[in-house]
């Protein structure tokens, strides 16, 4: 591979977006490409305190707030856009004077203005979608007005290559257009100029979303480059790549693994609702007592800001069977032989991790793309069960107990586990040498070489 290629990877400063783009950067760097990951200065201390792949360079731009909190998402995006539109060109200009001038920019699709900067400098520009192909396609149709809410023909949503959805399966920003107008604008603005990009990247793999990948490919130049999961949990081709590297949370790693080491194979339920979930008190209560009633051992990630919602009685009665931590090394936990299932909020990163490690899921979607991911986990990929039915307003402890038993015992578990292992093999194949995602990354590098040579 060429040694003078230099790619800027510009990320949107949210943990769930940084992780996959950082993993992609590691893949590029492993192929003898110079990579600089650009994020906001708020992450500078994290990078210095948590060494990542030494082959990746880091540079920083201001988000414009200097520790102050924005008044809302619209305020943040506008200020961040203005700041990055000034500082990113300065970084590109600085690199022009070195032996490694920037050859291409891969940018988070949440930052469409970066493509304008890329084109100004005559650089190859790629929009990186951190959602699934299906969710991104739904947002695209929403942005173009071809998906009208409420749906005219009853409850069924019909879109090209996506025919299995009901209203409740749509991303929450779409099914309820007035719920978070600022965030809806952010996800739809990605399509303002995306057709001008040289390529579109998706953190997915061909065999996972085959129909929609084919539809997208018939319209635009796209490449699946995932799952963007640390290599030691997939193909093991990147030495010591065991975690993402930049995290706002410090996991209780030793406590989790030591506790799991003392448990039987496939005997533990792992429960985590991500870094943003803020569950209502009755929701927490029903999950807690449902887990206890299931009689299964469990690890439950409960952030410090949420721990006051756990009753003292539950903590006391679950002490001999449960481990409650404020954060966990999720990949290590999911890969542990003792873990038999994953109760998840269905964030796309968590979904890909469970699929990549062959772990059946219990889905408890909250908002945004999680409802669509849950639909695919349960009904399309058939690697999980739904804890609460669509027609139920509240989750109950009986729902939780039943879902745990379904996923951990009997013929239902056998079916879910077999399907989960099938997708694990597909994920491994995609990222292994010559696999679909690996080949796409090679093709991307070859195109940059051609583009750089012709300019």
Quick one: which H or E segment has residue 325?
strand 322-325
Confirm whether 108 is a catalytic residue: yes
* Residues in Cβ contact with 198 at an 8 Å cutoff, skipping those fewer than 6 apart: 124, 125, 126, 221, 447, 451
Confirm whether 17 is a catalytic residue: yes
Residue at token pair 């299995």 = 164
Q: Indicate the Cα dihedral angle 152, 156, 162, 167, nearest 10°.
A: 90
Q: What is the 3-state secondary structure (H, E, C) of 187-243?
A: HHHHHCCHHHCCEEEECCCCCCCHHHHHHHHHHCCEEECCCCCCHHHCCCCCCCCCC
User: Under the phi-then-psi rule, with left for phi > 0, alpha for psi from -120 to 50, and beta for the rest, what region is 126?
Assistant: beta
6, 17, 131, 345: the catalytic one is 17
Q: Going along 3-155, which residue ranges are E strands?
A: 6-10, 34-40, 56-61, 104-108, 124-129
CA angle 153, 345, 356 (to 5 degrees): 100
What CA–CA distance (Å, rounded) separates 269 from 343? 7
108, 169, 399, 406: the catalytic one is 108
- Among 414, 410, 409, residue whose Cα is nearest residue 382: 414
* Catalytic site positions: 17, 108
């Amino acid at each position: 591979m060429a040694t003078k290629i230099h790619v800027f990877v510009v990320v949107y400063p949210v943990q769930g977006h940084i992780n996959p783009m950082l993993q992609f950067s590691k893949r590029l760097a492993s192929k003898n490409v110079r990579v600089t990951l650009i994020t906001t200065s708020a992450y500078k201390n994290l990078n210095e305190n948590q060494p990542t792949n030494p082959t990746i360079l880091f540079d920083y731009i201001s988000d414009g707030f200097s520790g102050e909190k924005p008044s809302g998402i619209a305020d943040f995006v506008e200020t961040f856009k203005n700041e990055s539109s000034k500082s990113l060109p300065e970084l590109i200009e600085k690199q022009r004077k070195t032996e490694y001038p920037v050859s291409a920019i891969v940018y988070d699709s949440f930052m469409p203005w970066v493509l304008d900067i890329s084109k100004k400098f005559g650089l190859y520009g790629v929009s990186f979608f951190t959602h699934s192909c299906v969710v991104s396609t739904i947002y695209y149709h929403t942005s173009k007005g071809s998906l009208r809410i409420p749906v005219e023909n009853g409850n069924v949503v019909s879109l090209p290559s996506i025919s299995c959805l009901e209203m409740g399966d749509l991303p929450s920003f779409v099914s309820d257009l007035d719920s978070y107008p600022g965030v809806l604008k952010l996800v739809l603005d990605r399509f303002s100029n995306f057709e001008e990009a040289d390529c579109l990247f998706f953190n997915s793999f061909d065999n996972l979303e085959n129909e929609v990948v084919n539809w997208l490919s018939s319209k635009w130049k796209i490449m699946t480059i995932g799952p963007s999961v640390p290599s030691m949990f997939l193909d093991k081709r990147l030495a010591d790549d065991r975690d993402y590297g930049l995290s706002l949370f410090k996991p209780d790693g030793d406590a989790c693994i030591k506790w799991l080491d003392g448990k039987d194979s496939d005997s533990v339920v792992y429960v985590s609702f991500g870094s943003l979930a803020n569950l209502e008190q009755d929701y927490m209560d029903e999950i807690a007592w449902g887990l206890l009633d299931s009689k299964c051992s469990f690890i439950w990630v409960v952030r410090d800001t949420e721990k006051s919602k756990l009753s003292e009685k539950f903590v006391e009665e679950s002490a001999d069977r449960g481990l409650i931590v404020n954060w966990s090394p999720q990949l290590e936990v999911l890969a542990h032989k003792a873990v038999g299932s994953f109760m998840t909020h269905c964030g796309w990163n968590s979904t890909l991790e469970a699929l990549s490690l062959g772990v059946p899921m219990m889905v408890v979607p909250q908002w945004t793309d999680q409802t669509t991911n849950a639909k695919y986990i349960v009904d399309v990929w058939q690697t999980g069960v739904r804890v609460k039915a669509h027609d139920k307003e509240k989750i109950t402890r009986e729902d939780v107990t039943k879902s745990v038993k379904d996923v951990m015992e009997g013929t239902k578990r056998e079916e879910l586990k077999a399907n989960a292992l099938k997708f694990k093999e597909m994920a491994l194949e995609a990222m292994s040498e010559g696999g679909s995602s690996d080949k796409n990354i090679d093709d991307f590098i070859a195109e940059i070489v051609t583009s750089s040579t012709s300019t």
